[in-house]
C-alpha cells in the first residue's frame, strides 16, 4: 500500500458521501489521486462516485482524468466505472464517460460481460437503448464472446427489443455466405458461449448444434408467451425461420440428429411451442422419430405433458399410422401416456376450475388418444406395472376421482338447499294470491293482466326449482363411476344450474308482478323495490353463470382437440 493510498481514505469517503469540495481540495494537493485504487475494494475515485450515483461528481472526475484512466478496472470484479454506471442505470453518467473514451464500451468485466449486457440483465432499458446506440456492432458478434447471446435471450424473455437489434442481425447474416453454417453462426451463433472446431469424426457436437441448444434453453420459455400474446412475433419468427433454413441447407445428418437438437425439440414439446416443433421437423423430418432417454417420441411426450396443440399435429402428418404404433422402453404406448398423471399434466389441469371438470378433461384425453391407436393397444400391458392403459388410468386418477366426487356433491348440496327454498316460497305464494279472494271465491284482481303474469311466473318458478332440486338429488345419489364424469354428471349439472337460474329469475318476476298489483299507484315504492329484486338474479348470474358456461363448453363445445389439421409434413 502506497503512502497516497493510506492518505486517500478521507478522499474516498468524501466521494462516497457526495462532498465534492472536500474531495477537490485533496485532488489539488494530490492530482494523481484520480488513478489511485481504494485499499480494500481496488476501485478508483470514479468507480466510487459512479457506484454512489453522484452524477455531477462523476462529470468533474471525468474532466480531470485521461482517456486511459477511465479503462482502469476494479480488482474485485474487473469492472470499469462505465460498467458500474450501467448497473446503476444512470444514463447521464454513461454518456459523459463514453464521450471521453468510446473504448469503454468494449471492455468486459471478469464475467466477460460488457456494460450493455449488464444494463440488459438488470432491466435498465433507457441505459440499454443508449449503450446499444453507441456500442460497435462487432462487439456483439460471436468472436467477442456471448454478449449478443445474453442480450437476445433477455430481449425474448423480457419482451423488450431495442433499436432494431434482431432486424440488424438478420440483415447482417444474409450478407454472409461463407462458413459451415453461415446464417446460424452469424445470427444464432451470437448465442454460442463455447466455440470449438467441428470434427465429424469425433464425439464433439457441432457448433451449430450447440447454438441451437443454447438458444432453446435461454429463449424457449419466453417465446411461447410472446407468440401467444402477439408481442414480438416478427422477431421470434425471423430467428426461427432463419435457423431452420440453415439447418435444412448446410447441416448433415449427424448434426441434425445431435443430442442438443433432440433436447431442444423435447423442451419445445413440453412447453407446447407448436411453431418451433413444426419448423424444426420441416427442416429435418427425421426429428419426427427422435426419442428421449425413455424412448418416448414427440407425441408420447405431448400426451404425457397434456400439450394438445402439439398432439393435434399428429393429424397433419403422412406417417400418422406409423407414429401411433410406437411404444417406449417400458412398452407404454400412447394410450398408456394418456393414463399417466404426471406433475406436469397436473399443472395443466390446475388451470381448469373444479376437480370434476379436471377429471372430465383427463377422460377426454384418454378417449381422444383411444381413437388414434389400434383397438388392441387397449389390452397391452406395460413392463413397469403390468397394467393395461385403462388400469393405469384408474390407478393414477383415483385421488382425482374422489376429489371430483366431493366437488360434485358439495356443489349439488348447496344448490339443493336453494332449490328447496324456492319451492317452499313459490308454493305458498300461489295459494295466497295478491289481493286475496272476493265474495265469489275468485281472486279480487282476476281480470288483471298482472295477475296472469304473476301466476305464470310463479308456476314456472315452482316447476323449474322442483326440476333443479330433483336433478341435484340425482347427482347426490350417482354412482360416480369414471365415465360418468365425461358426459352424464356434467350434463346433469348443466340441467340443474340452468333450471335453478330460470327459477330464480321467474321468482323475481312473480314478486314484481305481485307488488305492482298491490301498490301500483305508489311508484316511489314500486320502482326501487323492483330494481332491488333484480339484484339476486344479477348476483347469481355473476357468481354461478360462468360455471354453467364452462361446464357447457367443456362438455358440448368444440373441445381442445382438432382433427382437421392441414397437412404439414
Which tens digit of pLDDT belongs to each residue from 97-140? 999 999 999 898 888 888 988 888 888 888 888 888 888 877 77
Quote the mean pLDDT of the chain.
78
What is the per-residue pLDDT for 15? 86
Apex 538 CA angle, 535 and 540, nearest 5:
105
Confidence of residue 313 (pLDDT cuts 50, 70, 90): very high
What is the per-residue pLDDT for 150? 65
What is the per-residue pLDDT for 205? 38
Please give the average per-residue pLDDT across 438-445, as a whole number. 52
What is the per-residue pLDDT for 299? 92
User: Which residue did the predictor score with more confidence, 216 or 518?
Assistant: 518
242: left (phi over 0), alpha (psi -120 to 50) or beta: alpha
Q: What is the pLDDT of residues 345-403, one digit of tens each?
A: 888 888 888 899 999 999 999 999 999 999 899 999 999 889 999 999 999 999 999 99
Q: Which of 48-57, 187-196, 337-346, 444-453 has the lowest mean pLDDT?
A: 187-196
Query: Is 174:188 a contact under the CB 8 Å cutoff?
Result: no
**Proportion of the chain above pLDDT 70, given as a percent:** 73
Say if residue 164's pLDDT is above 60. Answer: no
Question: Global pTM?
Answer: 0.66
Say if residue 206's pLDDT is above 90. Answer: no
What is the per-residue pLDDT for 85? 93
* Cα–Cα distance, 549 to 541 (Å, whole number): 11
What is the per-residue pLDDT for 486? 94
Across 230-234, 250-254, 488-492, the highest mean pLDDT is recorded for 488-492
Apex 278 CA angle, 272 and 280, nearest 5:
105
Q: What is the pLDDT of residues 49-100, one digit of tens each?
A: 999 999 999 999 999 898 998 999 988 888 999 999 999 999 999 999 999 9
Say if residue 47's pLDDT is above 70. Answer: yes
What is the per-residue pLDDT for 161? 57
User: Which residues does 253 contact at the CB level (< 8 Å), separation at least 6?
Assistant: 286
Nearest alpha-carbon partner for 223 in 154, 309, 307, 126: 154
Say if residue 160's pLDDT is above 80. Answer: no
What is the per-residue pLDDT for 545? 85
Domain boundaries, the chain: 1-135, 140-290, 302-396, 407-556
Nearest alpha-carbon partner for 264 in 328, 219, 319: 219
The CATH architecture annotation of domain 1-135 reads: Alpha Horseshoe (1.25)
Please give the average per-residue pLDDT across 31-37, as a whole number. 83
User: Which residues does 20 contact at the CB level (< 8 Å), separation at least 6?
Assistant: 14, 54, 56, 57, 60
Q: Which of 144-148, 311-315, 554-558 has the lowest mean pLDDT?
A: 144-148
Say if residue 443's pLDDT is above 80. Answer: no
What is the per-residue pLDDT for 249? 62
Confidence of residue 158 (pLDDT cuts 50, 70, 90): low
Say if residue 543's pLDDT is above 70. Answer: yes
Say if residue 149's pLDDT is above 70. Answer: no
Q: Which of 78-87, 280-289, 461-470, 503-512 has the lowest mean pLDDT?
A: 280-289
What is the per-residue pLDDT for 441? 47
Identify the residue whose cell numbers are 385403462: 390
- Helix, strand, or coil here: 353? coil
Supply φ then ψ for residue 387, to 5 degrees: -120, 145
Q: Output the CA torsion sign for 290, 296, 300, 301.
A: negative
Say if residue 563's pLDDT is above 80. Answer: yes
- Helix, strand, or coil here: 337? helix
What is the per-residue pLDDT for 404? 94
Say if residue 546's pLDDT is above 90. Answer: no
Across 36-40, 53-57, 323-327, the highest mean pLDDT is recorded for 53-57
- Helix, strand, or coil here: 215? helix
Confidence of residue 265 (pLDDT cuts 50, 70, 90): confident
User: Which residue did the predictor score with more confidence, 185 or 544?
Assistant: 544
Q: What is the pLDDT of residues 485-539, one digit of tens each?
A: 999 999 999 999 999 999 998 988 888 887 777 776 666 677 777 777 778 778 8
Supply φ then ψ for residue 443, to 5 degrees: -55, 140
Confidence of residue 263 (pLDDT cuts 50, 70, 90): confident
Please give the average per-residue pLDDT across 331-339, as a whole number. 92
Amino acid at each position: 500500500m502506497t503512502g497516497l493510498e493510506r492518505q486517500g481514505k478521507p478522499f474516498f469517503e468524501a466521494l462516497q458521501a457526495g462532498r465534492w469540495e472536500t474531495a477537490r481540495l485533496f485532488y489539488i494537493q494530490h492530482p494523481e489521486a484520480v488513478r489511485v485504487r481504494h485499499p480494500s475494494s481496488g476501485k478508483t475515485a470514479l468507480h466510487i462516485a459512479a457506484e454512489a450515483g453522484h452524477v455531477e461528481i462523476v462529470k468533474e472526475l471525468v474532466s480531470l482524468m485521461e482517456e486511459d484512466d477511465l479503462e482502469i478496472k476494479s480488482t474485485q470484479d474487473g469492472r470499469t466505472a462505465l460498467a458500474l454506471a450501467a448497473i446503476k442505470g444512470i444514463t447521464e453518467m454513461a454518456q459523459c464517460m463514453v464521450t471521453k473514451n468510446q473504448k469503454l464500451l468494449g471492455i468486459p468485466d471478469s464475467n466477460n460481460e460488457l456494460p450493455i449486457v449488464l444494463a440488459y440483465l438488470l432491466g435498465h432499458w433507457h441505459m440499454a437503448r443508449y449503450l446499444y446506440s453507441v456500442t460497435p456492432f462487432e462487439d456483439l458478434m460471436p468472436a467477442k464472446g456471448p454478449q449478443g447471446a445474453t442480450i437476445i435471450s433477455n430481449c425474448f424473455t423480457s419482451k423488450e427489443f431495442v433499436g432494431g437489434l434482431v432486424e440488424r442481425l438478420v440483415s447482417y447474416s444474409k450478407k454472409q455466405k461463407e462458413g459451415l453454417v453461415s446464417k446460424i453462426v452469424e445470427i444464432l451463433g451470437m448465442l454460442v458461449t463455447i466455440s470449438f472446431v467441428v470434427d465429424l469424426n469425433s464425439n464433439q457436437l457441432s457448433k451449430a448444434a450447440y447454438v441451437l441448444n443454447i438458444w432453446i434453453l435461454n429463449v424457449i420459455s419466453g417465446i411461447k408467451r410472446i407468440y401467444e400474446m402477439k408481442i414480438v412475433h416478427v422477431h421470434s419468427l425471423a430467428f426461427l425461420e432463419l435457423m431452420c433454413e440453415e439447418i435444412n441447407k448446410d447441416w448433415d445428418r449427424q448434426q441434425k440428429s445431435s443430442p442438443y437438437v433432440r433436447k431442444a425439440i423435447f423442451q419445445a414439446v413440453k412447453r407446447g411451442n407448436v411453431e418451433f416443433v413444426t419448423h424444426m421437423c420441416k427442416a429435418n423430418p427425421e426429428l419426427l422419430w427422435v426419442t428421449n432417454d425413455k424412448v418416448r417420441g414427440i407425441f408420447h411426450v405431448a400426451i404425457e405433458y397434456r400439450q394438445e396443440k402439439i398432439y393435434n399435429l399428429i393429424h397433419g402428418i403422412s406417417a400418422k399410422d406409423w407414429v401411433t404404433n410406437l411404444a417406449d422402453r417400458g412398452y407404454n404406448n400412447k394410450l398408456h401416456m394418456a393414463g399417466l398423471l404426471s406433475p406436469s399434466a397436473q399443472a395443466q389441469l390446475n388451470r381448469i376450475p373444479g376437480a370434476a371438470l379436471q377429471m372430465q378433461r383427463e377422460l377426454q384425453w384418454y378417449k381422444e388418444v383411444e381413437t388414434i391407436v389400434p383397438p388392441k393397444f387397449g389390452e397391452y400391458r406395460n413392463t413397469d406395472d403390468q397394467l393395461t392403459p385403462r388400469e393405469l388410468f384408474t390407478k393414477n386418477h383415483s385421488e382425482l376421482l374422489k376429489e371430483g366426487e366431493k366437488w360434485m356433491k358439495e356443489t349439488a348440496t348447496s344448490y339443493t338447499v336453494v332449490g328447496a327454498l324456492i319451492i317452499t316460497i313459490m308454493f305458498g305464494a300461489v295459494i295466497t294470491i295478491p289481493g286475496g279472494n272476493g265474495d265469489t271465491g275468485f281472486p279480487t284482481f282476476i281480470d288483471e293482466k298482472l295477475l296472469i303474469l304473476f301466476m305464470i311466473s310463479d308456476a314456472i318458478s315452482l316447476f323449474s326449482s322442483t326440476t333443479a332440486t330433483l336433478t341435484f338429488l340425482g347427482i347426490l345419489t350417482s354412482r360416480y363411476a369414471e365415465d360418468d364424469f365425461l358426459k352424464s354428471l356434467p350434463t346433469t349439472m348443466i340441467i340443474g344450474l340452468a333450471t335453478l337460474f330460470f327459477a330464480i329469475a321467474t321468482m323475481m318476476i312473480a314478486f314484481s308482478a305481485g307488488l305492482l298489483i298491490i301498490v301500483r299507484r305508489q311508484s316511489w315504492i314500486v320502482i326501487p323495490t323492483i330494481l332491488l329484486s333484480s339484484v339476486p338474479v344479477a348476483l347469481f348470474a355473476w357468481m354461478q353463470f360462468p360455471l354453467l358456461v364452462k361446464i357447457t363448453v367443456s362438455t358440448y363445445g368444440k373441445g381442445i382437440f382438432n382433427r382437421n389439421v392441414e397437412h404439414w409434413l
